[in-house]
């Protein structure tokens, strides 16, 4: 079993205004997010902060350089009024094997799909991921042979805490167990409880008080 932090590939901080949220994070923590790239056809783009060599924070928001997508933008971005931690992903080395193992253990993460984006330096990243089914249940991601985004993301941000809050903690515990993950879970309205630390200060989502078990 892996802890939630050990298994983490990335956290998703969704926002209605990508550059405003990046500037706010920089002012609060002292870390300036680096440009990620466009999700062509999705109407979004991202900026990144590394937690280390294999995990990172993804800030994702509308891309004004793209036309409006045919459907809703991912992660409920079209309905957001402020930035929110909306999802987390865990890294898996073999998507097919992980899906089979989870289903055998009684949890179906859903089907996997392929995606791509181009970095500002022209490098194309390709990956496979499952759907984001809920805020607290992680989606799976397999980067295959692509370089991991954390390696080129802005350094300096630390992940101090990653917990969950869920109305049915036993249900979430069972789902995470099928994925080989342990996590601190509080009872209550569904949310990820995250603490980020930088040279200038700390940010907590959704509030500092919720981070205490």
- In the chain the domains, ranked by start, together with CATH numbers, are 2-155 (3.10.180.10)
**Nearest residue to 89 (alpha-carbon basis) of 31, 198, 162, 174:** 162
Residue 118, pLDDT score = 82
Q: Please give the structure tokens belonging to residue 22.
A: 């990046």
**Nearest residue to 96 (alpha-carbon basis) of 136, 125, 130:** 130
Residue 117, pLDDT score = 81
Residue 132, pLDDT score = 79
Cα–Cα distance for residue pair 33/145, rounded to 1 Å: 24
Residue 172, pLDDT score = 96
Q: What is the mean pLDDT of the chain?
A: 91
Residue 78, pLDDT score = 92
Residue 211, pLDDT score = 38
Q: What is the mean pLDDT of residues 120-138?
A: 88
Is the pLDDT score of 179 beyond 50?
yes
**Nearest residue to 77 (alpha-carbon basis) of 91, 52, 60, 92:** 60
36-86 residue pLDDT tens: 888 878 889 999 999 999 999 999 999 988 888 888 998 899 999 999 999
Q: Are strands 139-142 and 185-187 parallel, antiparallel or unpaired?
A: unpaired
Between 64 and 21, the more confident residue is: 21
| Residue 147's pLDDT band (cuts 50, 70, 90) | very high
């Amino acid at each position: 079993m892996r802890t939630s932090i050990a298994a983490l590939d990335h956290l998703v901080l969704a926002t209605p205004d990508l550059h405003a949220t990046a500037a706010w994070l920089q002012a609060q923590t002292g870390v300036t997010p680096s440009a990620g790239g466009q999700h062509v056809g999705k109407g979004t783009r991202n900026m990144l902060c590394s937690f280390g060599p294999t995990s990172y924070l993804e800030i994702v928001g509308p891309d004004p350089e793209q036309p409006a997508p045919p459907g809703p933008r991912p992660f409920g971005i079209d309905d957001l009024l402020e930035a929110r931690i909306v999802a987390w992903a865990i890294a898996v080395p073999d998507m097919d094997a992980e899906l089979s193992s989870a289903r055998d253990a009684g949890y179906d993460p859903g089907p996997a799909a392929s995606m791509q984006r181009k970095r500002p330096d022209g490098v194309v990243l390709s990956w496979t991921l499952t759907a984001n089914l809920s805020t607290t249940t992680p989606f799976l991601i397999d980067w295959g042979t692509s370089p991991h985004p954390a390696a080129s993301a802005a350094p300096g941000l630390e992940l101090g805490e990653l917990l969950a809050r869920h109305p049915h903690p036993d249900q979430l515990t069972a789902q995470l167990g099928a994925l080989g993950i342990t996590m601190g879970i509080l009872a209550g309205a569904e949310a990820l409880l995250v603490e980020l630390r930088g040279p200038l200060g700390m940010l907590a989502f959704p509030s500092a008080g919720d981070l205490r078990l």
